[in-house]
Amino acid sequence: MKLYRWIPAAFLSVAIVGAGCSQEEEAGSGEEAQVEDGESGELVVYSARNETFVDEYLEKYEEDTGIEVHALHADDTAVNRIQEEANNVQADIFISNDVGAMEHLRLDGLLDGYEADNLESIDEDYRAEDDSWVALSARTRVLMYNEDLVNEENVPDSIEELASPEYADQFAITRGANGSMIGHVSALRQEWGDEQTVEWLRDVSDNAGIITDGHGEIRQAVGTGEVEFGLVNNYYYHQQLQEPENNNVSVVYPDQGEDEMGAVLNAAGVGLVADGPNRENAETFMDWALEEENQQMFSNESLEVPINPDVEAVEDAAAIDEYETHDMPLHELGEVWDDTLEVIEASGMDLEVR
Amino acid sequence: MSRRNEREKGVRKLWYRLWRGRPPGPVLLFLGLLIAFIMGVPLLYVVVRSFSAGADGWMNILDERIPGLLWNTLSLTLMVTVFAVILGVSLAWIVNRTDIPFKKGWQWLLALPLVIPPYIGAAVYIMIFGPVGWASEWWQDGWLERAFGEYPIEIYSFAGVFFVLTLFTFPYVFLISMASLRKMNRNYEEVARSQGMSTARIFWKVNLPFLRPAIGAGVILVSLYVLSDFGAIAILRYTTFAAAIYYQMGSFDNLSATVLSTVLIAITLVVLWLEAKTRKKNVQYHQTSNAYTEPETLRLGKWKIPALLYVFTVFFFSVLVPIIVLVYWTVIGIGEGAIDREFWEYTWNSLRVAGYAAIACMLMAIPIVYLKSRYPSPLTTVIEKLSYAGYALPGVIVALGIIFIFNEHIPWLYNTHYLIAFAFVILFLPQAMQAGEASLSLVSPRMDEAARSLGHPPWKVMVKVILPAIRPGILAGGALVFVSAIKELPATLILRPPGFDTLAVRIWYETNEFFYQYAAPAALVIILISLIPLRFLLKKY
């Protein structure tokens, strides 16, 4: 009985102290907002990337500039939050895994052009028309397999073959609404047309042994032998190699034959959100992100390949010119983003995990 | 002139009849209506928005998504509920009625899983039985793989979800059944025994009908829990309505999310209606309080070992295993520096939002509870029912409603951590109300009247007489809200502003990335905090 008397009192006092502190904090941020025009202040970043890929990167920005970063690690919901918040913009910077997503936001008028320092270090193909987004590192869609379970010849060498009954239940893919998946499907639509793509999606979602939320789970599942192979972005393969165990994995770059489409490429990068609350800091961020040292950090944290050829890649990452890639200009993915989502949904492919 | 007077008189008469001659003061009524509005609006908003999806949108989703989801959701809800009831009732009966050793100890040990949120339970069982878990490692290292082939356990499956949810929801039934059994009079059983009934027959014919209301309440709690659970289900890669709504928001198809929400709300209402209906059909069993004697303790005899084994097995899987696993990973985590400045920041954030919610709920419960007990009327019923909205709603839906309302109409509050606390208030106010109601029911209305007759105005009666009398109940209700809020995952996940993480969010993220050593310390903190109200719960039931 005594216990039950003091405990509510205890948490009440905690809560009251909490309320007090947060008021101070709120007041503090208000003052900061006033001096925002000056050097310091804050920056709100929405990131669709894996949190572990951007944590240190954003910390470095904080150290370099003294600007406090508030990051929302929102997976693929980041794109949609920016859309949904158009009338009440919250974010200053968008970090994306997917050029299509960035271009899509730009076409909706949600990103704003800005000519950052050192912009020319990135090839025009990998920037927005108005430079509102810049891609910094490339990723390729590959099939990673477990060498204990299958030989290379038993892994499909084209994406189309994933739909074949031969591979039923042997592989893992992500859910349809995963950003990388949307990009990939967009490329397939361009190559095959909608009808064939829908049919492929339908078969593949029946065929897949596991459908996951993200690629981290696929990496695990292939590494441990839960499935024989999985469709991932190439750096997940490099990551799995670095694991202390369950690392007997290898990789197939699909569709490498003479007349075939080549492996589908995508890129990660940063975009400047229009009408964000801390515009000046957002511009500082874009300038900072294009410094070569920071370009390198951006791609190294995730083992991706830097788009800027002058920036050195990590040891394990295969260079882009070593294999055939799909020739569709990446920014064209933006126009078809919404359509692609509809196509995926129409195919009945799970948007969820399984 | 006189006609207007008459009309006024008529309205007045109606108003008095509505309140059975005693209308509440305007301030109290206003507060009640305001709270009901705050509680009900997000729900209504979701439903109204769902209709803007139009017939096409609805048909599309109904065709493509609903059948599978419906099957997933209903089969899981049914199975978990049935087995949770079986576990809960049988365990309650054994530790209450038999001479099982360590009887008193089991009575609270078996309530302990209540403090372990199912998503933490799910994470623990993935650590053990998952494809990279201990069991599979041990299986592959040993002779088992050679003898029996591949590792057979598939935790990411219906069976896995069913196992975890049953294990961590049965205590609801257990606690309520215990309370009923304790109150049951021995006379009935003696009469039955004198008629030559066997123990088994007595259980079915005498005990079970008595337990009917307890089981009904348990069914409601467990099935509503399964319908609304997001964390455990998502971590185990299963998809029910609540999870689908979250993913639909993830691909930011908010319209489809609202349609799915509306269907889920409908299912919830059906569950509540079914329970109410079966309750009416049953005859009310009364007990006469004047001749109460304590029920006889049954001798287990040769059943002692099996009974003990059964009780211990459940305790083992639902309490011992999770705690041991979490402590193990926490030790590793501490070695890797998991408890750093950020960890304390997450803890502080959790305490903060839960604290705001607890205080708000305590303050809001008082007028509602007072209205309900002192001024019954149809209007009061509406206010009360709306205040209970959150009781039946998944956090995902509440968050959806809040996003709509604040982003469009109150943008300056959007993306602040106060919205998380606001969601908690909607979700957990009913808990504070129930605790307050229990206290207030012990205060006779005559006390108010006596105070009024001494010339005190109503507000003074409230402050001087009622509040001191119900303070313990209100505080206990606040403690309950606090603990539920600390554990809450989906609404927190959806509503957190940039840079604001809580313990629950960290557990979710680290588990998804397989960083168990970082998830475990946070899980242990949540469990320790959750122990706070257990004493209160054990007392109440």
The domains found in chain B, sorted by start residue, are 23-283+293-539 (1.10.3720.10)
| Min distance B24 CA to chain A CA atoms (Å) | 30
With contact defined as beta carbons under 8 Å apart, do B80 and B165 qualify?
Answer: yes
Determine the Cα–Cα distance for residues B245 and A217; give it in Å rounded to an integer.
21
Q: What is the CA radius of gyration of chain B?
A: 26
By the CB < 8 Å criterion, does B421 face chain A? no
Residues of B in contact with A221 (CB under 8 A): 131
pLDDT average, residue stretch B278-305: 66
> How far from B196 is each of B94, B201, B295, B478, CA to CA, in Å?
22, 10, 17, 49
Contact flag B513-A216 (C-beta cutoff 8 Å): yes
Residue B524 has pLDDT above 70, yes or no: yes
By the CB < 8 Å criterion, does A248 face chain B? no
Instruction: Check residue A26 and give its pLDDT.
Output: 42
| Min distance B177 CA to chain A CA atoms (Å) | 23
Alpha carbons within 13 A on the beta-carbon side of A19 = 13
Torsions phi, psi of A266, nearest 5? -145, 175
Residues of B in contact with A25 (CB under 8 A): none
Contact flag A84-B254 (C-beta cutoff 8 Å): yes
| Min distance B51 CA to chain A CA atoms (Å) | 19
Q: Would you tell me which residues 142-201 of chain B have a C-beta closer than 8 angstroms to some C-beta of chain A? A: 156
Where in chain A do CATH 3.40.190.10 domains reside?
Answer: 2-138+266-320, 139-264+341-347
Residues pairing with A211 in the sheet: A173
By the CB < 8 Å criterion, does A52 face chain B? yes
pLDDT digits (tens, 9 = 90+) for A231-277: 999 888 888 888 877 888 999 989 888 788 888 888 999 999 999 99
Contact flag A19-B513 (C-beta cutoff 8 Å): no
Residue B123 has pLDDT above 70, yes or no: yes
Within 8 A by CB and 6+ apart from A81, the residues are A46, A72, A74, A90, A91, B252
Instruction: Check residue A329 and give its pLDDT.
Output: 78
Residues of A in contact with B248 (CB under 8 A): 351
Tokens of A269: 């990068």
By the CB < 8 Å criterion, does A32 face chain B? no
Contact flag B131-A221 (C-beta cutoff 8 Å): yes
pLDDT average, residue stretch B81-94: 94
Residue A5 has pLDDT above 60, yes or no: no
Residues of B in contact with A3 (CB under 8 A): 535
| Min distance B78 CA to chain A CA atoms (Å) | 20
Residues of A in contact with B243 (CB under 8 A): 352
Task: Give the A:B interface size as CB pairs under 8 Å.
Answer: 146
In the 8-state DSSP scheme, what is residue A244? Answer: S
Tokens of B524: 């242990």
By the CB < 8 Å criterion, does A119 face chain B? no
Q: Which amino acid is it at B275?
A: E
Determine the Cα–Cα distance for residues B374 and A81; give it in Å rounded to an integer.
46
Lowest mean pLDDT among B219-228, B235-244, B275-284, B515-524: B275-284
Instruction: Check residue A1 and give its pLDDT.
Output: 40
Q: Where are the beta strands (DSSP E) in A237-349?
A: 249-252, 265-272, 305-306
Determine the Cα–Cα distance for residues B286 and B306; give it in Å rounded to an integer.
34
By the CB < 8 Å criterion, does B495 face chain A? no
Instruction: Check residue A113 and give its pLDDT.
Output: 93
Strands A229-233 and A171-174, bridge-based pairing: parallel
Residue B495 has pLDDT above 80, yes or no: yes
Residues of A in contact with B237 (CB under 8 A): 210-213, 353-354
Tokens of B223: 């099935």
Nearest C-alpha in B relative to A22 = B352
> Is this complex scored with an ipTM above 0.85?
no
Determine the Cα–Cα distance for residues B51 and B60; give it in Å rounded to an integer.
13
Residue of A15, A73, A75 with shortest CB distance to B358: A15
Could you please report the per-residue DSSP string of B425-477?
A: HHHHHHHHHHHHHHHHTTS-HHHHHHHHHTT--HHHHIIIIIHHHHHHHHHHH
Residue of B234, B247, B476 with shortest CB distance to A351: B247
Confidence of residue B138 (pLDDT cuts 50, 70, 90): confident
Instruction: Check residue B135 and give its pLDDT.
Output: 82
With contact defined as beta carbons under 8 Å apart, do A300 and A123 qualify?
Answer: no
Nearest C-alpha in A relative to B478 = A8
Determine the Cα–Cα distance for residues A145 and A149; give it in Å rounded to an integer.
8
Confidence of residue A30 (pLDDT cuts 50, 70, 90): very low
Q: What is the 3-state secondary structure (H, E, C) of B340-402?
A: CHHHHHHHHHHHHHHHHHHHHHHHHHHHHHHHHHHCCCHHHHHHHHHHCHHHHCCHHHHHHHH
Q: What is the CA radius of gyration of chain A?
A: 22
By the CB < 8 Å criterion, does A302 face chain B? no
By the CB < 8 Å criterion, does A175 face chain B? yes
Residue A39 has pLDDT above 70, yes or no: no
Instruction: Check residue A282 and give its pLDDT.
Output: 95
Contact flag A52-B513 (C-beta cutoff 8 Å): yes
pLDDT average, residue stretch B139-168: 83
In the 8-state DSSP scheme, what is residue A95? Answer: E
Instruction: Check residue B308 and give its pLDDT.
Output: 93
Residue A318 has pLDDT above 60, yes or no: yes
Contact flag A11-B478 (C-beta cutoff 8 Å): yes
The chain-wide mean pLDDT, for chain B, equals 85
Confidence of residue A45 (pLDDT cuts 50, 70, 90): very high
Residue of B476, B497, B514 with shortest CB distance to A8: B476
pLDDT digits (tens, 9 = 90+) for B172-230: 899 888 888 887 766 777 778 788 888 788 878 877 888 888 888 889 889 999 999 99
Residue predicted with more confidence, A33 or B134: B134
Instruction: Check residue B330 and give its pLDDT.
Output: 94
Confidence of residue B313 (pLDDT cuts 50, 70, 90): very high
End-to-end Cα, chain A, rounded Å: 47
Nearest C-alpha in B relative to A226 = B131
Alpha carbons within 13 A on the beta-carbon side of A24 = 5
Residues of B in contact with A51 (CB under 8 A): 509, 513
Residue ranges of alpha helices (H) inside B488-515 are 490-495, 503-512
Residue B494 has pLDDT above 70, yes or no: yes
Residues of B in contact with A9 (CB under 8 A): 475
Within 8 A by CB and 6+ apart from B521, the residues are B330, B333, B334, B338, B339, B343
By the CB < 8 Å criterion, does B492 face chain A? no
Contact flag A84-B403 (C-beta cutoff 8 Å): yes
Instruction: Check residue A10 and give its pLDDT.
Output: 52
Mutate to test the interface with B, among A243, A351, A354 (most CBs of B within 10 A): A351
pLDDT digits (tens, 9 = 90+) for B389-441: 777 788 888 988 888 888 888 888 888 999 999 999 999 999 898 888 888 88
Instruction: Check residue B250 and give its pLDDT.
Output: 62
Contact flag B355-A19 (C-beta cutoff 8 Å): yes
Confidence of residue B291 (pLDDT cuts 50, 70, 90): low
Assess if CATH 3.40.190.10 describes domain A139-264+341-347. Answer: yes
Residue predicted with more confidence, B366 or B281: B366
With contact defined as beta carbons under 8 Å apart, do B310 and B92 qualify?
Answer: no
Instruction: Check residue A350 and give its pLDDT.
Output: 57
List own/partner pairs for A51-54 with CB under 8 A and 24 or more apart. A51/B509, A51/B513, A52/A301, A52/B513, A53/A301, A53/A302, A54/A95, A54/A301
Instruction: Check residue A13 and give its pLDDT.
Output: 53
Q: Would you tell me which residues 65-94 of chain B have a C-beta closer than 8 angstroms to some C-beta of chain A? A: none
Q: Which helix (H) or strand (E) holds A210?
A: strand A210-212
Tokens of B105: 């100890």
Determine the Cα–Cα distance for residues A330 and A188; give it in Å rounded to an integer.
13
pLDDT digits (tens, 9 = 90+) for A162-174: 999 999 989 999 8
Judge residue A115's burial from the number of C-beta atoms within 10 Å of its C-beta, 0-12 exposed, 13-18 middle, 19 or more buried.
exposed
Confidence of residue B331 (pLDDT cuts 50, 70, 90): very high
Residue of A21, A72, A79 with shortest CB distance to B498: A72
Residues of B in contact with A86 (CB under 8 A): none
Is the pTM higher than 0.95? The answer reads no
Instruction: Check residue A334 and give its pLDDT.
Output: 79
pLDDT digits (tens, 9 = 90+) for A82-115: 888 888 899 999 999 888 889 989 999 999 999 9
Residue A38 has pLDDT above 50, yes or no: no
Residue of A44, A87, A177 with shortest CB distance to B251: A177
| Min distance A183 CA to chain B CA atoms (Å) | 14
Nearest C-alpha in B relative to A174 = B237
Residue B114 has pLDDT above 90, yes or no: no
pLDDT digits (tens, 9 = 90+) for B4-45: 788 788 888 888 887 777 777 778 888 888 888 888 888 888
Tokens of B389: 């909205």
Within 8 A by CB and 6+ apart from A78, the residues are A46, A47, A48, A72, A94, A95, A96
Fold of domain A2-138+266-320: D-Maltodextrin-Binding Protein; domain 2 (3.40.190)
> How far from B1 is each of B6, B10, B12, B14, B367, CA to CA, in Å?
9, 14, 17, 20, 38
Nearest Cα to B98, choosing from B241, B300, B288, B359? B300
**Helix (H/G/I), strand (E/B), else coil: A271:** strand
pLDDT average, residue stretch A129-141: 92
Instruction: Check residue B526 and give its pLDDT.
Output: 94
By the CB < 8 Å criterion, does B243 face chain A? yes
By the CB < 8 Å criterion, does A308 face chain B? no
Determine the Cα–Cα distance for residues A21 and B225; give it in Å rounded to an integer.
34
| Min distance A58 CA to chain B CA atoms (Å) | 12
Residue predicted with more confidence, B203 or B64: B203
pLDDT digits (tens, 9 = 90+) for B465-493: 888 888 888 888 898 899 899 999 999 99
A235 marked among binding-site residues: yes
Determine the Cα–Cα distance for residues B295 and B263; give it in Å rounded to an integer.
46
Residue of A12, A220, A345 with shortest CB distance to B132: A220
| Min distance B159 CA to chain A CA atoms (Å) | 14
By the CB < 8 Å criterion, does B496 face chain A? yes
Tokens of B109: 């040990």
Sign of CA dihedral A209, A212, A218, A224: negative
By the CB < 8 Å criterion, does A73 face chain B? yes
| Min distance B269 CA to chain A CA atoms (Å) | 25
Residue A28 has pLDDT above 50, yes or no: no
By the CB < 8 Å criterion, does A157 face chain B? no
Tokens of A234: 């190439």
Residues of B in contact with A16 (CB under 8 A): 355, 359
Contact flag B356-A15 (C-beta cutoff 8 Å): yes
Confidence of residue A205 (pLDDT cuts 50, 70, 90): confident
